Amino acid sequence: MHRSLRNRVAATVIAGAALALTAGPVAAVTPSTESWTNHVEIGFIDCDGFTVVGTWDIHHKLTTFYGADGVPIRDIEQIDFSGRLTNAVTGASVPDGGARSFFDTLAPDGSFLTTYSVQVRKSAYVHTAGRLDFQSGDFHGVDGFAPANIAALCEALGG
């Protein structure tokens, strides 16, 4: 019985060593992560008689993945934003926020080969949820920027 156990252990060790010797190099480059926050205030849309200004705090997290040679091959940028949409004349405002993630594949020179994003906007008026393919321009989901949504936002802020 001892001989059978020794044979199995030896076979396992030999098989493991053979597998280790035949396996290619492992991509041992650890992904890098950067995070930052910025504040943005820009004109969002024009309503009849006033401009809607968007003001947000935007939190970014960028994770870059590398090939075995250390060259970036893809990245994921996660963005969370919270703020307000404000009538620039009266100061009336509504909350606005959401999240968006970008998924990029990268060429060796760092340029973008493909990009798509998924997004959720939690505004009561311009709520959006979906996926945008930057190569084709196709959007699948709920587009909160339809004329009826914009009209409702303008009415809410104009009154």
* Residue 8 belongs to a domain: no
* Residue 110 belongs to a domain: yes
What domain range is 112 assigned to?
27-158
Tell me what pLDDT residue 159 has. 58
Q: Where are any strands of DSSP class E within 1-138?
A: 32-47, 50-66, 72-87, 93-106, 112-121, 128-133
Q: Buried (b) or exposed (e) across 145-155, using 16+ Cβ within 10 A? A: eeeebbeebbe
How far is Cα 154 from Cα 149, in angstroms, rounded to an integer?
9
* Residue 2 belongs to a domain: no
Tell me what pLDDT residue 125 has. 94
Give the number of domains in the chain.
1
* Residue 18 belongs to a domain: no
What global pTM score does this model have? 0.75
Tell me what pLDDT residue 38 has. 98
Tokens, residue 55: 């003001």
* Residue 40 belongs to a domain: yes
Tell me what pLDDT residue 24 has. 45
Tell me what pLDDT residue 37 has. 98
In order of 11, 73, 108, 116, 147, the CA distances from 113 in angstroms are 46, 10, 10, 11, 33
* Residue 45 belongs to a domain: yes
* Residue 17 belongs to a domain: no
How far is Cα 91 from Cα 86, in angstroms, rounded to an integer?
6
pLDDT-flagged residues of the chain (< 50): 1-2, 5, 7, 9-11, 13, 15, 17-24
Tell me what pLDDT residue 19 has. 47
